Amino acid sequence: MRWLFFLVGGLLAAQDQRNVTEPHHPSKYCATLEARFSTEQDTELDTARVQSAIDRCSPGQAVRVAPHGANGIFVIAPISLKPGVTLVVDAGAAVFASRNPRDYDLRPGSCGVVNKEGRGCQPLILADHAPDSGIMGDGSIDGRGGAKLLGQNVTWWDLAHEAKVTDQQQSAPRILVVRQSDNFTLYRITLRNSPNFHVSVDRCKGFTAWGVRIFSPKTARNTDGIDPSSSTNVTIAHSWISTGDDNVAIKAGNTGPSSHITVEDNHFFTGHGMSIGSETNGGVSAVRVRNLTIDGADNGIRIKSDRSRGGLVRDVTYENVCMRDVKNPIVLTMHYTNLAGSKIPDYRDITLRNVNSVTPGTSSILGVDKDSKIRVTFDSVFAPGKTRAEHAEVKIGPRAGDFVPGGDDVTVDRGSSSAGHVGECSFPSFPALDGPSTKIIVPEEDHTIYVAADGTGEYSSVQRAIDAAPDSGGVISIAPGVYREVVTISKPNLHLRGASNDATKAVIVFHKSAGDSNGTFNSATVNVRSDDFVAENITIANDFNSTHPQLPQGSQALALSVTADRAKFQNVRLLGNQDTLYVGSKGCSPGNGEPCTVTRQYFENCYIEGNVDFIFGDGKAWFENCEIHNTPHQGGYITAQGKHYASEDSAFVFDHCRLTAAPGIHDVWLGRPWRAWATVTFANSDMGDHIAAAGWREWHPGETKYLETAMYSEYGSSGPGAHPSERDPHTHRLESFPLTLTEFFGGWNPR
């Protein structure tokens, strides 16, 4: 990057208000400690002598840790800095964190575990009410996040991944926490391999990080670089940050606002980019990000919040930013999570100037609604690729680039803007890390895409995760939560998996109906159109009838529409009333004639509820060990299978299923033929007393004669609804049920 900048002198009010210049090492040392070890060990810690030296030091002085001959390693458990005292780590020296979780316990046994509570660890280094302190030097501090914990066959990063997979909280220490310690300085130090955040800055007036190097593998979860929170007069300059999470994240939660922040002349690599949020309810203002390269990160420029933690973000400028191989170059979102709340985000006076993504990516500009829009200016911004935008007021200029978002409720004011210029970009490599290093186990890249309504995953929307999945497919893990959205599967080999075995925990729900969406087939909450799809441990619902009466016309409201071949549903709950589930073949339409492309669907251990034709279509579907439940509605029909022609190879089979109903429901029919060649078999199924004695009914009695050609059969029915001697005479009583899944599906075994 060849843009010049000036950090000292003539500072504007809308950034760090201090006159920040390059720091320097203290002139007085109260103690110099020499390393005793040349290799890693955890039996003789240096905690006591380092802490003792700090405690004896006077304000304005420093404690120095230095190599001694071949020895350069210090191993410590948590220590605390005191006011005015600086810790200096000389070149060739490395401070390693203890691998014993008990050294970090806030409560007995609270650190090094995964549970619902989290937050059970002390940081390695704490500056609490320690103004004018700092950490400097050309040495390194290593959190050993990828080293096996003592007494456990896991690393800190393994615990972080376990927490992500199980939707729980990890308890892992941060390298440095600076809390209410004004005018703290980080200078030239290398921080690496933190178990959690590298640097957390909380409620500080004056914080400087200059020439700092921060490194953790991109696969190490929650290893943020520097996170200033509820702080003012912050400068992060001339630093190199490569992590597994936010490179820098400016936060402002319940403890107060963040303001007057300068992030200048830095280089970011892997990570989640230059972020503001997700907590913005305290207010973020007067932020200047200038002369930044971002190379290989998941996100570039990102402001993230939502209704549960939103607030005013204003007077933020990004200038002279170059990005390469960034998946999501620009992300301004008020939908970071799906959590409810009244803390509506408000982004205004946001400016991007001279911003250039040299490779394509996917950008998002997502306001809340028409009353809560994002207000942003793009001045010579170039970000090729896809863009999703809604509820935004966009100003272009004074120079136009190629980034002009459009979408629902997006207004664009081009004014009299002239053509912008693509700035020249250069991308330096991360500097070599010198000095003693620790042995770490780099986490393997997890190709699973994680969705969490509370923002702890990579996405808070199931559909956005699907959009981000490779065209060849992938696994999407859905954490407990309610995802109110319409989902469409248009990529093969996708697997939606609830993180909990309890399918009630992860719910995808929407409220469209035939009456308001131009037909039944446009009303589905989830649409599965591509082959080799799998869903497990989730609920798919259409709750239209929770707010609307169920009427004879217009109340059809699909939870799931599936026209994919080889689609599997295991431990899935489908909730609706009329037309809950459509299983259909491809290429078929009324009067279209032969041939249809018959598709195969398998449902195992599922719960499906509804009342009128709530399992319908012409797919080839097998339901095994499922509960089929009738919701309140007098009378009703479980199935409405409907072939388009006699030789169409489609059918429904219910094997070892349970037919249940809400209290007081009766006169429910096993099915009625949607078309003349309907084919349905119930085998080995237990039927409640709500099932009508005749079992099967004509589509329109007195008008149609589909029962004469339909193939309705039963084998081994049991329960009070079996009525073996009272079934409609068109019912076929099978003497055996020899079909196997592989035979039924023509060679495909979904198990």
Residue appearing with tokens 């050294």:
103
Q: What is the mean pLDDT of each run of 10 residues along the chain (751 residues)?
A: 36 77 95 94 94 98 97 97 98 97 97 93 98 98 97 95 89 98 98 98 98 97 97 98 98 97 98 97 98 97 96 98 97 92 97 97 96 97 96 96 95 87 91 87 92 88 93 95 96 96 96 94 97 98 92 91 98 97 86 78 98 96 98 93 92 98 95 95 97 96 94 96 93 90 94 87
Coil, strand, or helix at residue 102?
A: helix
**Active-site pick, 138, 158, 245, 265:** 245
Res 421: pLDDT: 81
Res 673: pLDDT: 96
Provide the CA 253 distance to its chain's centre, in angstroms: 21
Residue appearing with tokens 């055996």:
736
CA distance 460 to 278: 12
Catalytic-residue membership of 260: no
Coil, strand, or helix at residue 161?
A: helix
User: Is residue 634 packed enough to be buried (19+ CB in 10 Å), middle (13-18) or exposed (0-12)?
Assistant: exposed
Q: Nearest Cα to 61, choosing from 141, 133, 130?
A: 133
CA distance 594 to 114: 57
Helix residue spans in 69-183 (DSSP H): 156-166
Res 9: pLDDT: 38
CA distance 270 to 248: 12
Q: Let me know how long the chain is.
A: 751
* ∠ Cα 682 685 687 (to 5°): 105
CA distance 372 to 365: 12
CA distance 714 to 671: 12
* ∠ Cα 275 280 284 (to 5°): 75
Catalytic-residue membership of 245: yes
Q: What is the 3-state secondary structure (H, E, C) of 334-363?
A: CCCCCCCCCCCCEEEEEEEEEEEECCCEEE
Residue 188 tokens read as 């030239």
Residues 6+ apart with CB under 8 A from 48: none
Residues 6+ apart with CB under 8 A from 317: 14, 287, 288, 289, 290, 350, 351, 352, 353
Residue appearing with tokens 């001694």:
68
Res 590: pLDDT: 58
Peptide bond connecting 738 to the previous residue in cis, omega within 30 degrees of 0: no
Q: Which helix (H) or strand (E) holds 451?
A: strand 449-451
Residue appearing with tokens 């966009």:
394
CA distance 191 to 197: 10
**Active-site pick, 161, 272, 629, 723:** 272
